[in-house]
Structure 1
Amino acid sequence: MQHPTLSLADDVASTERALDALGGPAILGGHSYGGAVITVAGHHDRVAALVYVAAFVPDKGESVGTLIADPSPGAPVPPTPPPVDGFLFLARAKFHAAFAADVPLAEAEFMADAQVPWGLDAFGGTVGEPAWRHRPSWYLVATDDQLILPSAQRAMARRAGSTATGVDAGHAVYVSRPDAVADLVRQAATGATADT
């Protein structure tokens, strides 16, 4: 589902509404900022496991903003122009190289034009007790990511105790390597079933 990205609280609430509508257990997946959403929404009773895909994995008291503000040495700086009316966008001219480097140019340009504005309240929303402390989790590291360094992805996965695997892909791994994403979701479903 696409989050409204107005605030972390709103995005968690919309995810919880979707979970409420399900009839059984769910594997909750999140890409990029979506990792913060599943870190909070993952407390829902229907969530059996978490899958992070080139995602931020905040701990208690952290936000995506704090994770970006304290990057590893050599980390790329997201090509985000100043906010417009309280929302952030990735710069269109840099979108392909930064977000979707391994996606065909025409598709990356479409993605740039179709990007959902990212509210500053989403960017700065802090996490309480992270669900990954109470749910099994998996992490797909995009080893050619130009937005979240692979070393930062591995560090967040390690901190969360996630079962991590890597794939040669950029940040838009769900577009360029949907097979790898689907494989990890299957692994999580199998692993979550084995844990019950």
Structure 2
Amino acid sequence: MTNSTIVLVHGAFADATGTWNTVADVLIRRGHPVIAVANPLRGLHHDAEYLRTVLATTPGPITLVGHSYGGAVISHAATGLDQVSALVYIAAFAPDEGESAGQLDEKFGGRAQQVTQARPLPGPAPLHGPPHIELSIVPACYREAFAPDTAPDTAAVLAATQRPLALAAMLEPAGPPAWKTLPSYYAISTRDQMIPTAGQREMAERMKATTIDLDAGHAATLSHPGPIADLISTASTV
């Protein structure tokens, strides 16, 4: 058996360091090769194409792991790539073809619209399409909504270092998802406010994913690195 390269993709309102450091530490100590990608968060197709450029120079087989919006990115980016052997979703969006993360957020009743603030993006707004803005979580809401399992000081740092998400990324419809053809795994957060648990279960069930439940909020990678690393290790052993 060979351990595949593990590629970690963060989602909105976080960065690769804040999302993945604890999980990456466990995986690296176990001997796994790990890459934590800086997800641009500019648009689903843009972000997926950027990820594909990383995957093109990464030795296979590859296990792709996505948290939150990062799940939509890995689903889109991995389609048709032979070197990707498995997908792992951590409290993540997994849209079907034609769906957007925003549609799923609306369907499942996540709190993103309630706790985010907008600011304009530079440059001319497009003639068609969504408003030319990006979103970030209001710092005072960050711990409760996004990272309730963390200490207040830790959550304050995460809020200060979060990476905003372009609204267009939430509204772009997905293409054919890779989870229809690849083995999929899903860590469900049972106290998640950003992607409620019932929505996570619905997405995991339609993927026929192997699942684990975590007594965690949305930022489960911070509070449950061991079980998440276990799930990734299982998916990456081919």
- Same fold, judged at TM 0.5 (above): yes
Quote how far apart the aligned CAs of 1:58 are: 0.5
Question: Any conservation in 2 of the 1:42–1:135 contact (CA below 8 Å)?
Answer: no
- Indicate the percent of aligned positions where both proteins have the same amino acid: 39
Task: Quote the residue 2:17 is aligned against.
Answer: none
Write the distance in 2 (CA, Å) between the matches of 1:25 and 1:76.
34
Query: Of 92, 110, 121, which aligns to 2:139?
Result: 92
Q: Secondary structure at the match of 1:166?
A: strand
Give the drift of 1:76: 4.3
Of 35, 51, 65, 2:88 maps to 51
Residue in 1 that maps onto 2:220 = 173
Counterpart of 1:36 in 2: which secondary structure? helix
The question of 1:38 aligning with 2:74 is answered yes
1:139 to 166, 175, 186: 186
3-state DSSP class of the match of 2:211?
A: strand
In structure 1, what is the Cα distance between the partners aligned to 2:117 and 2:226? 35
- TM-score, structure 2 normalization: 0.76
Post-superposition CA distance 1:137-163 (Å, at most 9, x none)? 000001111211111111110011111
CA contact (8 A) 1:80 1:88 kept: no
Query: Distance between the aligned counterparts of 2:169 and 2:82, measured in 1?
Result: 23
SS at match of 1:87: strand
Cα drift, residue 126 of structure 1: 1.1
Within 2, Cα distance between the matches of 1:67 and 1:81?
17
Find out whether 1:118 has 2:165 as its counterpart.
Answer: yes
Q: Secondary structure at the match of 1:140?
A: strand
Counterpart code for 1:120:
L
Q: Do 2:115 and 2:141's aligned partners in 1 also have CA atoms closer than 8 Å?
A: no
3-state DSSP of counterpart to 2:86: strand
Q: Report the Cα distance in structure 1 between the residues aligned to 2:204 and 2:211, rounded to whole angstroms.
A: 7
Structure 1 letter corresponding to 2:111: V
Residue in 2 aligned with 1:77?
111
Query: What is the distance in 1 between the residues matched to 2:149 and 2:65?
Result: 21
List alignment gaps of at least 5 residues for structure 1.
none
The answer to whether the 8 A contact 1:25-1:48 is kept is: yes
* Alignment check: 8 A CA contact 1:28 1:51 kept: yes
1:4 aligned residue: 40
1:45 Cα deviation (Å)? 2.2
How far did residue 105 of structure 1 move?
A: 1.0
Whether contact under 8 Å (2:85, 2:182) holds in the other structure is yes
Corresponding residue of 2:126: none
Flag structure 2 segments of 5+ consecutive residues without an equivalent: 1-36, 121-132
TM-score by length of 1: 0.92
* Number of matched pairs: 188
Greater alpha carbon shift after TM alignment, 115-124 vs 78-87: 78-87
The whole-number CA distance in structure 2 between the counterparts of 1:25 and 1:31 is 20
CA RMSD of aligned residues (A): 1.2
